[in-house]
Amino acid sequence: MEDSLPLNRCHVEKLQAFINRLQTLLHSTSLAFLFYYRASSFFLHETTIPFFPFLLIFFSETILSFIWFLGIGYRWRPVVRTAFPERLPENDDELPPLDVFICTTDPIKEPTEQVMNTVLSAMALDYPPEKLHVYVSDDGGSPLTLGGLKAASRFARWWLPFCRRYRLKTRCPKQYFSEMDDDDDEDIEFIAEKQMIKEKYKAFKADIMSIRRQDDGSVSGISQDHPSMLEVMEANVAEEASDRVKLPVLVYVRREKRTSHAHHFKAGALNVLLRVSGVMSNAPYFLVLDCDMMCNDPSSAKQAMCFHLDPNISPSLAFVQFPQTFRGITTNDIYDSQHRSAYKVLFKGMDGLEGPLLCGTCFYVKRAALWGNYSTFKDNIDLAQLQQQFGSSNEFIKSLYKNYTPYLVDGTTHALLQQDIKLLASCDYETSSKWGQKVGFLYASVVEDVITGFFMHCNGWRSVFYDPPKAQFMGTAATNLNDLLIQGTRWSFGLIKITLSKFCPLIYGPSNMSLLQRFCCAEMTLFPLYCLPICYLATIPQLCLLHGIPLYPKVSDPYVFIFAFIFLSAQCKHLQEVLTTGGSFRKYINEQRMWMIRSTSCHLYGFLTAILNTLNLKKSTFLPTNKEEEDDDKEQTTTLYQMDKFDFRTSHMFLVPMLVFLSINISCFIGGLCRIVVCQGNYFGDMLLQILISAYGVVVNYPIIEGLVLRKDQGRVPLSVVPSFVALFVIIHVGFLLLLRLF
């Protein structure tokens, strides 16, 4: 019987788990030796290292080992899942209703055509259209987005029936029409219709362009002050009488924004959508999409339902997270824009424990999982208490107890609705309620995804990570250094904020959360702290080399093997992971380099900003990334990213640390070599590890040297940065000498 077949399967990668555990055992044993070595040499006064370098080295080795230790959980029990959507009930009536939330904010950085493509791809999901509602949140309050949405809704009347009739696999029009034509063996009717739809698509693009032109100027930038607005797109029935295909309801939501009120960025936008959709369709599940993240495969909703409808896991399942995949990623992916490790290793590892955290987009979540500690109010009918939790709208509170209500476009409901919406989307609705603190998406950090995912886990919910062979979603990655480092600064700021808040995973959370799961969550929020040991490792061993201070055991000392082993074991593990997840040796080196660059710039800044923010000295900001793509119409030129060349056109703030650390490595390496020649005795043997560290720093960062001295193109390191980096270089050298004198 079909009924008895499971909807999904979970398979533990046994060999990988074995390799991981073995490496964990060896690595942690050698770390134990390392700490024994450091402690004994310190307490037995055997050490020749001056106090201050010793303190730094000990501190950074401790942080490095601690963060590594927290990451054990990721490698403990990696799993892979499979879903069988064909085993879902054939009758569409049995599928639960589904809402889709799409957030956009900046019509310049997030081109309207692209946002509308995301909207259209979501409307075209392979799901009963009468059960699908698509909500678009426009934080920019832009007429361009509203106009674009109207145009998209008109185009959808043609596009959706076409997708369904021919069962298209690609349901994002832009992508569909840019794919290679191989019309040879297709029937004439199809080709004719395709041509017609293509014309409609062109007209739709032209509509957007004309709104853009009419709007001269006022679209630029994100509006910070505007009233709320709700518009349900008219006529959700397809144009053609032949197949009166129903279309999903499409809703435009503009929440009220006032400069006097914090709006909490994306989390705030999602919470408004949660409330507004609650009084409109109130589907038990919803999909969240960033405006650039289109549905690459129409089947994701049904695949997700294979988990949500599985009676074995469903009661405690909060969300199904798909990986974020990006268009235009090159083989060598110099900046690691795809975040390989997160989506190929870390999430899989957490999936084998209690489940991954959220990553902001591409997830199907159960509405009830966002109501905080559900059990405390489930049987509670005390209105006053509910209002304290959910705010004053009775309509919304009713929705908590009510099942899905399909939204009907008719005059009277509409007028009533407008009133409710005005309240629910107003900027002081959340005052004296628990929105953002216990209910909905949390506000304590700009990485609302990680903190909200963690909070759901704390409330006893579980989650699933599903990475099917075909990418279900496709977005734009930051493929230039500048965007990437700005984004990285925001992320590390947000993550460290979580660590510094009461939600710090090391202390917050129920006692029944497994230790490994807790460690993973802690690692995820703490890892930007790698910036401290990396900054140390990029300067102190090198400067000590220059000044003849050995920090590591001599070659004749057996402990040298411990240090060498720790380094090699970490490197081999990383290399193994890159190779088994489809990367190459060059990808591994690229990731090593990016790890150093990120740590010494954006993670460091994010960390410092988090401290300032916690001390109330700096406000939170959320700069959206650029999502503009090369247009088909424009002349195609290969970007530096595609040529595997660094693009150093970024702010000095990011360039200076890169250059300073590199030049310290180079100068000390050369200085060290000179000393070998000049000095008598065992200098080489005493200093070997430090020589190797500097050499490693130089070799891995070769592209920066190239960008500074060899390259002539516009992406080279700008010469204007030289004075500031040389100044800092000198300051560090002098500072080091001073500290050495003092301590």
Ligand X SMILES: O=c1ccn([C@@H]2O[C@H](COP(=O)(O)OP(=O)(O)O[C@H]3O[C@H](CO)[C@@H](O)[C@H](O)[C@H]3O)[C@@H](O)[C@H]2O)c(=O)[nH]1
Residue list for the binding site: 109-110, 139, 266, 290
- Choosing from 99, 138, 420, 449, the catalytic residue is 449
Distance CA 743, CA 309 (A): 65
x/- mask, Mn ion, residues 232-271, rule CB under 5 A, reads ----------------------------------------
Report what 360 binds from ligand X, Mn ion, none; CB cut-off 5-8 Å by kind: ligand X
Distance CA 531, CA 346 (A): 20
Q: What are phi and psi of 315, to 5 degrees?
A: -55, -35
Residue closer to ligand X by CB (options 483, 647) is: 483
Q: At what angle do helices 585-598 and 481-500 cross, to 10 degrees?
A: 60
Residue closer to Mn ion by CB (options 118, 690) is: 118
Report what 736 binds from Mn ion, ligand X, none; CB cut-off 5-8 Å by kind: none
**Contact by Cβ (8 Å): 598, 485:** yes
Least CB distance to Mn ion at residue 75 (A): 28
Q: Which segments are annotated as binding site for UDP-alpha-D-glucose? A: 109-110, 139
Report what 325 binds from Mn ion, ligand X, none; CB cut-off 5-8 Å by kind: none
Distance CA 722, CA 658 (A): 12
Least CB distance to ligand X at residue 525 (A): 13
Q: Which segments are annotated as binding site for Mn(2+)? A: 266, 290
Least CB distance to ligand X at residue 393 (A): 22
Residue closer to ligand X by CB (options 429, 552) is: 429
Report what 265 binds from Mn ion, ligand X, none; CB cut-off 5-8 Å by kind: ligand X
DSSP run (H or E) holding 188? helix 188-214
Report what 24 binds from ligand X, Mn ion, none; CB cut-off 5-8 Å by kind: none
Least CB distance to Mn ion at residue 32 (A): 41
Site residues, ligand X (CB under 6 A): 103-105, 110, 137, 139, 265-266, 269, 290-291, 360-361, 446-449, 487, 490-491, 494, 622, 624-625
Q: Report the candidate in 361, 342, 327, 323 with the shortest Cα–Cα distance to residue 595.
A: 342
Tokens linked to 547: 């000044």
**Contact by Cβ (8 Å): 390, 433:** yes
Torsion sign over Cα 686, 688, 694, 697: negative
Q: Is 106 a catalytic residue?
A: no
Query: Which residue do the tokens 């140390």 mark?
Result: 536
x/- mask, Mn ion, residues 192-211, rule CB under 5 A, reads --------------------
Report what 420 binds from Mn ion, ligand X, none; CB cut-off 5-8 Å by kind: none
Residue numbers 130-189 binding Mn ion by CB under 5 A = none
Report what 389 binds from ligand X, Mn ion, none; CB cut-off 5-8 Å by kind: none
Residue closer to Mn ion by CB (options 416, 623) is: 623
Residue nearest to ligand X (CB): 360
- Choosing from 139, 292, 483, 647, the catalytic residue is 139
Residue closer to ligand X by CB (options 40, 614) is: 614
Least CB distance to ligand X at residue 430 (A): 15
Distance CA 624, CA 265 (A): 10
Strand partners, 249: 133
Least CB distance to Mn ion at residue 292 (A): 6
The amino acid at residue 109 is K
Residue closer to Mn ion by CB (options 265, 563) is: 265
3-state helix, strand, coil in the chain (%, to 5): 55, 10, 35
Report what 340 binds from ligand X, Mn ion, none; CB cut-off 5-8 Å by kind: none
Distance CA 355, CA 317 (A): 9
Report what 299 binds from ligand X, Mn ion, none; CB cut-off 5-8 Å by kind: none
Query: Which residue do the tokens 């144009």 mark?
Result: 239
**How do strand 229-232 and strand 132-138 relate by DSSP bridges?**
unpaired
Q: Residue 10: count other Cβ atoms within 10 Å of its Cβ.
A: 15
Report what 668 binds from Mn ion, ligand X, none; CB cut-off 5-8 Å by kind: none
Least CB distance to ligand X at residue 267 (A): 8
The amino acid at residue 185 is D
Mapped onto helix, strand or coil, the DSSP state of residue 253 is strand
Tokens linked to 616: 């109330």
Burial class (CB in 10 A: 0-12, 13-18, 19+), 311: exposed
Q: Report the candidate in 500, 498, 493 with the shortest Cα–Cα distance to residue 603.
A: 493
Distance CA 10, CA 21 (A): 20
The amino acid at residue 669 is F
Least CB distance to ligand X at residue 465 (A): 15
Residue closer to ligand X by CB (options 261, 574) is: 261
Q: Is 633 a catalytic residue?
A: no
Residue closer to ligand X by CB (options 75, 266) is: 266
Residue closer to ligand X by CB (options 430, 448) is: 448
Distance CA 471, CA 650 (A): 31
Residue numbers 366-425 binding Mn ion by CB under 5 A = none
**Contact by Cβ (8 Å): 257, 427:** yes
Q: What are phi and psi of 388, to 5 degrees?
A: -60, -35
- Please work out, in degrees rounded to the nearest 5, the angle formed at the alpha carbon of residue 427 by the alpha carbons of 392 and 225: 160
Residue numbers 275-314 binding Mn ion by CB under 5 A = 290
Least CB distance to ligand X at residue 399 (A): 23
Mapped onto helix, strand or coil, the DSSP state of residue 570 is helix
Burial class (CB in 10 A: 0-12, 13-18, 19+), 287: buried
Least CB distance to ligand X at residue 118 (A): 9
Distance CA 328, CA 677 (A): 49
Torsion sign over Cα 397, 398, 403, 407: negative
**Contact by Cβ (8 Å): 647, 522:** no
Residue closer to Mn ion by CB (options 290, 449) is: 290
Distance CA 64, CA 124 (A): 47
Q: Residue 707: count other Cβ atoms within 10 Å of its Cβ.
A: 22
Calculated CA dihedral for residues 453, 458, 459, 460, nearest 10 degrees: 100
Residues labelled as active-site residues: 139, 449
> Could you list the residues that contact Mn ion (CB under 5 A)?
290
